[in-house]
Amino acid sequence: MKFLLVSFTFAVLSTQTLAEGAHHATSPYAQEAARDIKSLSETDVDELTRGGGWGFAKPAELNGYPGPSHVLQMKDRLGLTDDQLLKVQEVFDLMQARASEEGKVFVEAERELDAAFRSGTITESALRDLVATAEASRSRLGLIHLAAHIEMTRLLDACQIAAYGKHRGYSK
């Protein structure tokens, strides 16, 4: 009898807690509702429009392909020659310029997608086009950043690449 009473009390309290939780649950996105572009923070927009990495190059970076920005920061520790430094700077400048240009395209595509939903008149056809435009730009951004990492392996020797990994904390 005691077992039934305890079980019944537990069941009632659990149900009450679940019901209250459902009414008071706040979305983890609630603070993002005020954003100009809902899918991008101001920090994201800044990074994308200035040509920052935004995590696009992680497959390269974490698999032993140094990034030009970090190579420039570590130029003395890596012992870059003057010729290497010049070439790394050229790769970085080109990557950043192209990424900045494409980043602006991506931000605008996300802005248009957001506006289409905000208008309340978006159609599935329009959605398909808007998403395709944004994702094509995102793909180009990834290629820009990843290609620069590949180029770094052509400019650095094996010892410099190993030192890069060590200084970045990737060595085992």
* Sign of the CA dihedral running 13, 15, 17, 19: negative
Tokens at 89, concatenated: 């700077």
Percentage of the chain modeled with pLDDT above 90: 79
Distance from C-alpha of 169 to C-alpha of 172, rounded to nearest angstrom? 8
What's the predicted TM-score (pTM) here?
A: 0.82
Helix (H/G/I), strand (E/B), else coil: 26: coil
Distance from C-alpha of 171 to C-alpha of 150, rounded to nearest angstrom? 19
Distance from C-alpha of 157 to C-alpha of 41, rounded to nearest angstrom? 38
Radius of gyration of the chain (CA): 25
Which pLDDT score, from 0 to 100, does residue 21 have? 52
Read off the pLDDT of residues 134-167 as tens digits, 9 standing for 90 and up. Answer: 999 999 999 999 999 999 999 999 999 999 999 9
Distance from C-alpha of 162 to C-alpha of 172, rounded to nearest angstrom? 11
Which pLDDT score, from 0 to 100, does residue 7 have? 52
Which pLDDT score, from 0 to 100, does residue 8 have? 45
Read off the pLDDT of residues 83-111 as tens digits, 9 standing for 90 and up. Answer: 999 999 999 999 999 999 999 999 999 99
Tokens at 157, concatenated: 């020797």
User: Residues with Cβ < 8 Å from 6, sequence gap 6 or more?
Assistant: none
Read off the pLDDT of residues 27-61 as tens digits, 9 standing for 90 and up. Answer: 999 889 889 999 999 999 999 999 999 999 999 99
Residue predicted with more confidence, 45 or 2:
45
